[in-house]
Amino acid sequence: MKGSKGVPSGTSPRSKPDNSALFRPQDFRCAEDFSHCICPAGKRLYRNGANVVINGYAGVKFHGAERDCLPCTLRDRCLKHSERTAARQVVFFKGPAPGRPPTYSALMKNKIDSEEGRYYYSRRLAIVEPVFANICSSHKLRRFSLRGRRKVNNQWLLYGLVHKIQRYGKSDNQRKLHYTDEQQASIVASTVYPFHIDAEQSTKEQCHPHL
């Protein structure tokens, strides 16, 4: 059944073709010396030049012959655009190209796999994850409501400040249960003026900081 514009119902006129049924590089058999490869139809693809570098990875590219690809019955499963592409090309990657700088993912992987990295990563469940869970669950920060790095950073710092205040408030209430009235009074006094410095000594230090 077709729609008003001759397009099958349930599909969009701009929908992309399904490439899941196309042959992938792993469906081709590559020779051990990388001189050629064999396609699913049994035809030979020839090596196209020297090694190629694509996105920092070295590979070997093969190209099929038009005399084999044009009359092939598996053409629709081999080429994405069989109406305008003459022959199939396939690349087999060997690994990172020489001189290629390591990616950020590789650097982080090496850092985590170290002995020190494993120790600190194991501490993540006890230090960082509870903070994220509290901010996302209790304070409902599922996504940032502001735009821009500076505004988002300020919003995150604000939520972090609220988390700290809530944490200190709970811990302070727990400590008060074990303190006497005199101990609580001394804590309040030390909070208001924590340092008891002699006025004369303070004046001398301001005049002679090296004394």
Token pair for 185:
């009074």
Given 59, 81, 96, which residue is the final one in a domain? Answer: 96
Q: How far apart are the first and last CA of the chain?
A: 95
CA–CA distance, 89 with 81 (Å, rounded to integer): 12
- Number of Cβ within 10 Å of residue 20's Cβ equals 6
CA–CA distance, 8 with 108 (Å, rounded to integer): 48
Q: How many domains does the chain have?
A: 2
Query: Model pTM?
Result: 0.44
Instruction: Tell me which residue has tokens 């811990």.
Output: 171
User: Is residue 121 situated within a structural domain?
Assistant: no
CA–CA distance, 8 with 12 (Å, rounded to integer): 8
**Same domain (yes/no): 91, 148:** no
Q: What is the structure's pLDDT at 208? A: 45
Residue 85 has pLDDT above 70, yes or no: yes
**Same domain (yes/no): 150, 211:** yes
Given 96, 111, 130, which residue is the final one in a domain? Answer: 96
**Is the pLDDT higher at 195 or at 14?**
14
CA–CA distance, 4 with 6 (Å, rounded to integer): 6
**Is the pLDDT higher at 2 or at 82?**
82
Q: What is the structure's pLDDT at 197? A: 42
User: Is residue 150 situated within a structural domain?
Assistant: yes
User: Is residue 138 situated within a structural domain?
Assistant: no
Residue 211 has pLDDT above 80, yes or no: no
**Owning domain of residue 39:** 28-96
**Same domain (yes/no): 155, 210:** yes
User: Is residue 131 situated within a structural domain?
Assistant: no
CA–CA distance, 32 with 110 (Å, rounded to integer): 31
User: Is residue 123 situated within a structural domain?
Assistant: no
User: Is residue 106 situated within a structural domain?
Assistant: no
Q: What is the structure's pLDDT at 34? A: 87
User: Is residue 14 situated within a structural domain?
Assistant: no
In 3D, which of 30, 89, 27, 96 has the Cα closest to residue 64? 89
Backbone phi and psi for residue 109, each to the nearest 5 degrees, phi listed first = -65, -45
User: Is residue 41 situated within a structural domain?
Assistant: yes
CA–CA distance, 156 with 144 (Å, rounded to integer): 8
